[in-house]
Amino acid sequence: MESIKDVIRKISGGKSPLEQSEKMLKELLEDKDVLEFLKRKEGQGITRSDLLKNVPKLYQFVNERHHCRECPGLKNCPNMMQGFRPDLVNDKESLNLTFSPCPLKEAEDMKQKQKGLIKSFYVPKEILTADFQSFIPDIKRKDSILAAGEFIKGYLDSPTDVKGLYLYGEFGVGKTYLAGAIVNELAKRKGISSMLVYTPDFFREMRQSIQDGTVDEKLETVKKVPVLVLDDIGAETMTPWIRDDILGSILQYRMMESLPTIYTSNKDFDDLEAHLSYSDKSGEETLKAKRIMERIRYYTTFVQMEGDNRRGS
């Protein structure tokens, strides 16, 4: 933006500073935004002398408001404070400028905030931007999309009463993408934070974290997030420690605190229970597996997803 000093220098033509300011003020008083401000503040004691003393502020106000009307986009915004538009205020009989973010700036800030709300462990980047608009709806996916909508509505109405979701289906039908669309919608509507965890890699990392002593820190983060997505549960290599001390601890805490969990899996409830009951070291431990499954069965809505493979052949 051209500075007020440069503008005055160009138009001065040897005139005195007062004459220069008078000339500029005459032009500024033709601006509709300035006229609207003076009309609103009529009777508040704003004199011509006050306006003359504040020609630089009036100039910045008019110039930057013009930029906003001819907006070149947020990245190319020429205003001194990029993405902010000025307003005139009469503060204690003195003219001042205040600045507020424009709609484009607000949208960008919300987008960045939204990104910050959604954490992930080993989840593809495309899932972090998933939304219902780009989800390909068809008759086969109708029920799962409706179930996702019901979960969002239920969470927004009463987050401690809503059940989680168990999204079951074949490889590539869009389970993870739908889970991503759900958490993005919650972030967009109410600023709700969430975490998406690709379960096999997360459990592998937890085993490795024993060496550096970060197991408890990572476990606490996953346990306490408002909305948790455990992606591809059942695809991990199961051990008693993972089942009882990691998964069991996460689900017990979330059950006690009424925090909903969304699962995606290629296994239905019975197959997942069989998977949880067996490990190479301990053989079958059906009671412990049933204890985990109780926390999944009774605190989720089972949703079978069908449809063509979204990832292509």
d(CA 113, CA 121): 18
Q: What is the pLDDT of residue 307?
A: 73
Query: Low-confidence residues of the chain, pLDDT below 70?
Result: 1-17, 92-93, 110-111, 113-118, 135-138, 280-283, 309-313
Q: What is the pLDDT of residue 5?
A: 56
pTM greater than 0.85 (yes/no)? no
Q: What is the pLDDT of residue 313?
A: 43
Nearest alpha-carbon partner for 146 in 155, 137, 158 = 137
pLDDT digits (tens, 9 = 90+) for 44-53: 777 788 888 8
d(CA 53, CA 288): 79
In the chain, the domains with their CATH numbers are 4-101 (no CATH), 108-305 (3.40.50.300)
Q: What is the pLDDT of residue 131?
A: 85
Residues 6+ apart with CB under 8 A from 160: 258
Residue 191 region by backbone torsions, left for phi larger than 0, else alpha for psi between -120 and 50, else beta: left
